[in-house]
Each structure stands twice: as C-alpha cells, then as structure tokens.
Amino acid sequence: MTSAEKDLYPIGTVEKKTGLSARQIRYYESMGLVNPVRTNGGQRRYTENDVLRLIRIKQMRDSGFDLKSIKEKIQVFEQKLEEISLPSVNPAQVKLSSLYPVSNRAVLMKLLEKK
DNA sequence: CTTCTCACA
DNA sequence: TGTGAGGA
C-alpha cells in the first residue's frame, strides 16, 4: 500500500533525469556518494532517492562545492538519518542497503530546521 | 542497443 | 572528465 521506492532505473535513465554523465555518476559512486544496487549481471540500478541525491550533488557542485565537501555533507546527513530511522524500524527488516525512507521526511525536515 | 571496467591521449 | 577498447 505504502510504496516508497520500488522502481529502479539503469544508468542511462539516471543520466537523463539528473543531467549528469554516466562517467560522473559512476565516479561519484566510487567516491561513496551513492550506493546503487547491482543486478545479477553487474549492472547498476538506481532508486528514485539515488536520483534525488545525485541531483543534489549536481547542484552543490554547480554551486562551487568540491566533491570532498559534498561527501562530508552527505556523511553527516546519513548519520543523522540513521539516528532517526533505526529506532522506528523493526530489527527484522533492517536492511539499510539504500537511502532514507520517505515516511521519515517530516522528521527529516524538523531535524534540518533545527540545525 | 545498453552497460561494465580499465586505461590513456 | 571524456572516450575508446573489449566483453557481457
């Protein structure tokens, strides 16, 4: 019923949706900025959240930030997200393979306006 | 045709 | 970062 992130896109689709080149997308992955899942054949599959994250990265980059700053930004961000996500998730289904759940967006916003 | 990795002009 | 090679 509550479908958060079900669709996965191949890198070609992500290129169009983000405006980034496949080269950049793969490079950012090597830098630990995104963690797409792989298919049996080894192809990357990105979630909607991955796309959103890449768009944020593109904007930060265009705004003059270097990848190092962006990476640190995301790490702090992810750290806070874990703090508010883990307590509200059943230990049985804790598979943090992807990004933050949309269901915590409200909590996310509060957290952001506080800092 | 699309994607993947690796390496280099 | 781009691009070409060589595979899957």
Tell me the pLDDT tens digit for each residue of A86-101: 666 555 555 555 555 5
The pLDDT of residue A51 is 96
Closest CA-bearing residue to C1' of B2: A12
User: For strand C, which nucleotides have at least one atom less than 7 Å from a protein CB?
Assistant: 1-3, 8
CATH no., domain A11-114: 1.10.1660.10
Across A1-24, average pLDDT: 88
Paired sense of beta strands A44-45 and A37-38, if any: antiparallel
Residues 34-93, chain A: which have Cβ under 7 A from strand B?
42-44
pLDDT at A114 over 60: no
Alpha carbons within 13 angstroms on the beta-carbon side of residue A84 total 19
Whether residue A81 contacts residue A61, with contact meaning beta carbons closer than 8 Å, is answered with no
> What residue spans define the domains of chain A?
11-114
Name the residue with the least CA to C1' distance from nucleotide B3.
A43
Nearest nucleotide (CA of A23 to C1'): C1
- Across the range A15-21, mean pLDDT stands at 96
A65-68: long-range pairs with CB below 8 Å, 24+:
A67/A28, A67/A31, A67/A33
Q: Which amino acid is at A2?
A: T
